[in-house]
Structure 1
Amino acid sequence: MTRHLVPSPDGATQVFIIIGDPVSQVRAPQLMNAVFAKSGANAAMVPIEVGPAQAPALIEALKSAGNVGGFLATIPHKFELLKHADDAGPVAIAAGCANALRREPDGRWSAENFDGIGFVTGLLGSGELLEGKTVFVYGAGGAGSSIAAGVLEAKAACVHVSDLSAYRAGELCERLERLWPGKVKHAAAGEHRDADIVVNATPVGLGETDPLPFALEGLNPEALVAEIIMKPAETHLLHEAHRRGFRTLAGMLMLQPQIDLYRRFFRIPDPDVPSDPLHAIAGRGTMP
């Protein structure tokens, strides 16, 4: 990571935190630190592993630090992160969780969830169609909730949601049903056979010996199998789906579009747009 921190962090560095449990699999710090360096922003992103019981206190403590400009959250903290926001964007409200939180100039904190739009952008960018499709999402956690909301916003015909926690899946479906009536179904595991797109939005696949998160037998042969896990790059699910001839979408394709969304959300200058050198020097140490 340090090779991207140019110049080295100093007393004026704006710090961004990504929290998770685990956090060793995250790729956002390397990618965001490269963006910071390229843009000339005096900023750095640091990963912190914290459990669910300790996360609320940690978030509040870090919010009180004047040089902490924002947070990203991965498993399992996206629902918790939203609780620490004073305001939230439309996708975070629809999903009931957030993966990004930023400090506003007036000291308030704003949240949004970019998992869904990142997934949709990666899907469309790979040449896949979404409008009118049936999407089956395994996992009603932070990422799954955002993806379900994102594909509905992008005009999917309907979304089916399954989760080991029937309560959590039901709660998500009720929230989405209010916004997209008639397009949401709380489904049982295994009911994905006729779906056009099946998404693994669970942690199953992080471990090398993890089983498949859902069965591929009987799946619509034209279906797309999508994964949100980014490390390993090729999960057991992607390997098996590709081996059996299904089209696949890797988790990294969901993250890549989010990096620029995070940059804009955190008000980092666009590294591809030349800036006034005098302005850049005068503004060093502050976020635009």
Structure 2
Amino acid sequence: MVAVNIRGTTRLYAVLGDPVAQVRAPALLNPLFAQLGLDAVLVPVEATPAGLGDAVRGLTAVRNLDGLLVTVPHKMACRALADRVTEAAALSGSVNAMRRLPGGGWEGANFDGEGFVRGLRTAGHEPRGATVCLAGAGGAGSAMAVALLRAGAHVTVWDADPDRAASLVSRLAPHFPGRLAAAPGHVDADLAVNATPMGLRPGDPLPFDPAALRPGTLVADIIMSPRYTALLRAAREAGLPVHHGEPMLAEQIALYREFFGLG
């Protein structure tokens, strides 16, 4: 545990979500601030979807607040609140980080996908040429689809809302011809990924059944707490290799440092 010394000079960062009890970013970024000798702190801010606009406007008025991180379910809504976005955020239609622009307003970026791909590679799993079944076409899922396609994977996406999956495919397919499709469920794949919030709450249904996957399929979950989600427990019981959620965030630290100019 790193002690945080809050002073009148402290710069603020907030992570927006609903809920926020599961967020791990403060546990990773606050020690980084201390390590870098920065007078800064990241705190969780719980805002409902109905109150998100008011929350962002209020935070915009806080003059010593330098940046926002964004988690479920606000990534797509915050894309609409950003005044400018990076290319990856424009393709995915979602943001998970926002920084102040010099002339006012916010620039949005999304590092979920790049963090996930880096986490896979660090663990020895190369996505280039892999067939990926992706559950979730929301904010995180869209960003991961972009990054996986950029890394050379073939992606099939499924969502509880078929229209959302179809919209993602129609938006991205022209940029990655022949490597993206929507499907009603998971098919044979090298990698099956949960990019939905299913698993955050006790009693959530599984996004897909690991026992129906072919032997050797790597099962990944982006949910970070608990470390072994119900999906990963079921995958392990089915004899499948698993990939945990925390590497996706851990690999984003360097990206956040550059984006926010943390040195």
TM range (shorter): over 0.9
Q: Does structure 1 retain, via aligned residues, the 8 Å contact 2:211–2:238?
A: no
Q: Deviations over 1:177-201 (max 9, x none)?
A: 1211221111102xx2311111001
Name the structure 2 match of 1:53.
50
Q: Which of 182, 185, 194 lines up with 2:181 in the alignment?
A: 185
Equivalent positions of 1:65-214 (< 5 A) are 65-156=62-153, 158-189=154-185, 192-214=186-208
Q: What secondary structure does 2:242 align onto? A: strand
Deviation at 1:84, TM superposition (A): 2.0
Aligned-pair Cα RMSD in Å = 1.3
Q: Which runs of no fewer than 5 residues in structure 2 stay unpaired?
A: none
Residue 30 (structure 1) aligned with residue 27 (structure 2) = yes
Q: Does structure 2 retain, via aligned residues, the 8 Å contact 1:199–1:227?
A: yes
Deviation at 1:260, TM superposition (A): 2.2
Q: Deviations over 1:70-126 (max 9, x none)?
A: 100100000111122222111101110000000133334211100000100000110
Return the letter of the residue paired with 2:159: D
Return the letter of the residue paired with 1:206: L
Name the structure 2 match of 1:219.
213
Return the alpha-carbon distance in structure 2 between the equivalents of residues 204 and 228 of structure 1: 10
Percent identity reads 44
Return the alpha-carbon distance in structure 2 between the equivalents of residues 4 and 186 of structure 1: 47
Flag the structure with more relative contact order, 1 or 2, with Cα contacts below 8 A and sequence separation at least 6: 1
* Structure 1 residue ranges, 4+ long, deviating more than 6 angstroms after superposition: none
Q: Deviations over 1:125-145 (max 9, x none)?
A: 100121111111101111111
Return the alpha-carbon distance in structure 2 between the equivalents of residues 52 and 120 of structure 1: 28
Q: Deviations over 1:225-267 (max 9, x none)?
A: 0100001111011112112221111001111101221122111
Return the alpha-carbon distance in structure 1 between the equivalents of residues 113 and 216 of structure 2: 23
The count of corresponding residues between Structure 1 and Structure 2 is 263
Q: Deviations over 1:4-39 (max 9, x none)?
A: 41xx22222111110100010000012111111110
Name the structure 2 match of 1:282.
none
Return the alpha-carbon distance in structure 2 between the equivalents of residues 39 and 201 of structure 1: 32
Q: Does structure 2 retain, via aligned residues, the 8 Å contact 1:4–1:30?
A: no
Q: Does structure 1 retain, via aligned residues, the 8 Å contact 2:133–2:187?
A: no
Deviation at 1:67, TM superposition (A): 0.8
Deviation at 1:205, TM superposition (A): 1.0
